[in-house]
Structure 1
Amino acid sequence: MFSARDSVEVDADVESVFAFLDDPHNHAAVTPRLEDVRDVERLPNGGKRLAYTYRMVGLGIDGEIVQTAHEPNERMTFELRGRLTGTIDLTFEPAADATELTYAAEYDLPENALTALGEPVVRRFNERQVRATLDAVADRFANDAE
């Protein structure tokens, strides 16, 4: 199991950041290597179930994401199913005129990816992916403010 956790301050109110990330297609816009989001279905808890394609080690990895927690303006939790398994937890905290967005993830990777790259490389890759995603969200709102 690999884990990565990081935070960023987003120059927008919690409601706006939550609404942006509540649309699965926006995840594809800000998550490096997330190539496709499709078959989005709304769940009774307010969350979504969807299929995705993620590119890793030159391969397209298909899977399913189920949003297990959908707490408006506070938290989203996703369960990854398929060749990539794990959880992603997003929390939203008011911070002055901004939002503190925290991304915490735990992943189990396909054995061939771990074997090909080695554990230290995979760990750094995951940390960079989380940071890049958070920066992309912050940049999206910074650009909207200009």
Structure 2
Amino acid sequence: MATILVFLGLNFWSNQLDDLHIQDVKIYNTFFAMENGKPTFYLYGKLKPTFASYSGGAFTQYNNSNGGNYGWNTSKNNVYIDGQQTHSPFGSKEVVFRIKSDSKEGLTLLNQNLYLTDHHHHKIKIYDARTRTQPYSIDQKDTHKFIKQNKIQ
């Protein structure tokens, strides 16, 4: 009986949502792509610690003010992306964010700096709007090429 209670307690703890911690994420690639004529930003990464797993499937959002496993906050010049994780050692380690440009939501993306953030106020700059560079990008470190190819202003 005690074993079952311990198992249930560990299972409950491991599946609780927690804010994604910046130190837990290894970013593999970021890039822009066109979807329905709008620039869309992608981030691919992996969680490092044993007791961390990404909550939810790829391309979903968690239920915050923006609706569904990640969300964002915007200011005039910046977009702050935040996510959630669980503590299951058996969950998915893959982290995928997809954010579509939407001027109604204040997301102009190419004209804003993009940051991955956590609740401890740590942040990683993943796109610099002034220089139009992505330090974690494999193919698009210079985003000017993307803009020219897609004739974006």
Q: TM-score, normalised by structure 1?
A: 0.30
Q: TM-score, normalised by structure 2?
A: 0.29
Greater helix share, structure number: 1
Q: Which has the higher contact order (CA 8 A, sep 6+)?
A: 1
Greater strand share, structure number: 1
Q: Which of structures 1 and 2 has the bigger CA Rg? A: 2
